[in-house]
């Protein structure tokens, strides 16, 4: 077994003894990788940096557009809100006018009700005075005249005219 450990150590020693060669190979691999990436980008025509810049600019443009739309919508909402406030003010003014008219009508109704009450009291007073005046009159009323059968029948228009003529001659 001691031979195995000596072999492993010698192989490491072989690579460890030439660090410049390992560094040169690593540098060549890195340069080969960079060259292949550059060739691939040049061949395809796309670079992630420019794509990122374009994407960022598009995002900024969309953000600006969204901001403008929000500003426009906000202005529209402000205008709508102002219109609503104006309409509400008009409705409140109309409501106050209606309240004033209603109060005036109620006052007129009260006044008319008082006038009707006064008139009712006056009519009751007149009825009472009329009733007391009738009670104060004598109970004897003149007896109605008796009419003859001839005068109870309706006179003819011709007879009425001739009777009126005779009266006019005797009075004149």
| Contacts of 22 by beta carbon, 8 Å cutoff, 6+ apart | 15
Domain membership of residue 65 (yes or no) is: no
pLDDT bin (cut points 50, 70, 90) of residue 47 is low
Does residue 21 fall inside a structural domain? yes
Is residue 85 in a domain? yes
pLDDT in the model for residue 157 = 54
Domain that holds residue 79: 74-120
Instruction: State the pLDDT at residue 40.
Output: 84
The mean pLDDT of the chain is 80
Answer yes or no: is 159 within a domain: no
What pLDDT, on the 0 to 100 scale, is given for residue 151? 53
**Among all chains, which residue has been given the structure tokens 């009519």?**
123
Residue 139 lies in a domain: no
- CB-CB contact of 72 with 79 (8 Å): no
Helix (H, G, I), strand (E, B) or coil at 153: coil
DSSP-derived secondary structure letter, 141: -
Q: How far apart are CA 88 and CA 86, in angstroms?
A: 5
Residue bearing the bigger pLDDT, 8 or 23 = 23
Average pLDDT estimate for 157-161: 55
> Helix, strand, coil shares of the chain as percentages rounded to 5?
85, 0, 15
Phi, psi of 73 (to 5 degrees): -65, -40
Q: How large a percentage of the chain has pLDDT more than 90?
A: 50
Give the confidence band of 44 by pLDDT, cuts at 50, 70, 90: confident
Q: Is residue 114 part of a domain?
A: yes
Instruction: Please give the average per-residue pLDDT across 164-170, as a whole number.
Output: 55
Number of folded domains in the chain?
Answer: 2
Residue 102: inside a domain: yes
pLDDT per residue as tens digits for the range 73-117: 999 999 999 999 999 999 999 999 999 999 999 999 999 999 999
> pTM here?
0.38
Residue 130 covered by a domain? no
Rounded CA gap, 51 and 40, in Å? Answer: 15
* CB-based contact 41:47 (threshold 8 Å): yes
Half-sphere exposure of 29 (CA within 13 A, CB side): 6
Instruction: Grade residue 169 by pLDDT with cuts at 50, 70 and 90.
Output: low
Q: Distance between CA atoms of 59 and 162, rounded to whole angstroms?
A: 125
Three-state secondary-structure class, residue 146: coil
Residue 138 has pLDDT above 50, yes or no: yes
């Amino acid at each position: 077994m001691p031979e195995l450990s000596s072999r492993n150590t010698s192989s490491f020693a072989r690579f460890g003894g030439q660090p410049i060669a390992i560094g040169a190979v690593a540098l060549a691999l890195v340069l080969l990788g960079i060259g292949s990436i550059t060739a691939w980008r040049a061949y395809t025509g796309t670079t992630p940096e420019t794509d990122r810049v374009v994407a960022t600019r598009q995002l900024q443009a969309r953000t600006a557009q969204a901001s403008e739309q929000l500003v426009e919508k906000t202005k529209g909402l402000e205008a709508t809100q102002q219109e609503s406030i104006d309409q509400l003010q008009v409705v409140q003014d109309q409501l106050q006018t209606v309240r004033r008219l209603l109060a005036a009508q109620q006052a007129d109704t009260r006044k008319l009700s008082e006038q009707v009450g006064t008139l009712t009291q006056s009519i009751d007073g007149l009825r009472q005075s009329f009733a007391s005046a009738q009670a104060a009159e004598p109970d004897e009323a003149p007896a109605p005249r008796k009419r003859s059968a001839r005068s109870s029948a309706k006179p003819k228009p011709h007879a009425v005219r001739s009777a009126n003529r005779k009266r006019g001659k005797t009075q004149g």
